[in-house]
Structure 1
């Protein structure tokens, strides 16, 4: 609990820095943003919280890349509605490719 409160406080303070602060705070949340986009996949696959976190750490670089690009697109004013939808579609396509990869292994 302490970690969550300190993380929230530090990101809030960071976002108070003009221009650069909100962008940095947004980018620091990249892995969590990706985890949120992929939660439906984890739910449908029946992953436990530990399995979902393990998956995140196994694919951490992909989580960072997807989250950073999604975060930058979501920062564009008046275009956010379109980019949130496209980010959701991108996450769904990523999940689809993961499922295809699993089928090939079987």
Structure 2
């Protein structure tokens, strides 16, 4: 399995999307993030079809950092069950993939 992932998250405001992105990038659990929107989402929720305006976040990370990224998103997100899905990156520019790895590496602790 590829060690590189694109993680998709949706939220209802641009402000919350920016808060999630800032926390993920600052914490180095995502190398970078983009916010797209507004978008229209149509989905089932609690037995009814919903239609909402949302913002889509795309974050780049590694498989090793995924659990930590999920924890950050859940801590910052207002939804009861936020969309958090990881999609493998099967290929790409080697330099870009290396950048993802470098920027999501845990920094050595300074004592």
Q: TM-score range by the shorter chain?
A: under 0.3
Identify, as 1 or 2, the structure richer in strand: 2
With a CA cutoff of 8 Å and minimum separation of 6, indicate the structure with the bigger relative contact order.
2
TM-score (norm 1): 0.24
TM-score (norm 2): 0.23
Identify, as 1 or 2, the structure richer in helix: 1
